[in-house]
């Protein structure tokens, strides 16, 4: 099946958390990473960034996030995560 690239939404939290577990394991120091509610909030449009997923057969294969600067007055460059 073809890979589909699309913008993530709050409903993709479980896909994103599963990908994080595959890449980082289950012992990442910041435990919020595994919290579905936290992940959904990060993927929400109101969070201020964008996350894109590459999905194949219902599995998230990779993601990239465009993160706005914490203080746009002093740093106008966004980050990729």
- CA dist 76 and 73 (Å) reads 7
| Whether residue 81 has pLDDT greater than 60 | no
User: pLDDT for 34-53, tens place per residue?
Assistant: 999 999 999 998 888 889 99
Q: How confident is the model at residue 1 (pLDDT cuts 50, 70, 90)?
A: confident
Calculate the alpha carbon distances from 51 to 22, 35, 74 in Å: 18, 17, 23
Read off the CATH number of the domain in which 18 is found.
3.40.630.30
Answer for the pair 48, 31: CB distance below 8 angstroms, yes or no. Answer: no
What is the domain count for the chain?
1
- pTM of the predicted model, to two decimals? 0.81
Q: Which domain holds residue 69?
A: 4-80
Predicted confidence band at 66 (pLDDT cuts at 50, 70, 90)?
confident
């Amino acid at each position: 099946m073809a890979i589909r690239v699309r913008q993530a939404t709050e409903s993709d939290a479980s896909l994103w958390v599963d990908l994080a577990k595959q890449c980082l394991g289950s012992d990442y120091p910041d435990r919020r990473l595994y919290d579905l509610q936290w992940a959904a909030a990060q993927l929400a449009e109101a969070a201020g960034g964008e996350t894109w997923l590459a999905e194949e057969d219902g599995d998230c294969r990779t993601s990239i996030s465009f993160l706005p600067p914490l203080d746009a007055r002093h740093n106008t460059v966004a980050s990729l995560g």
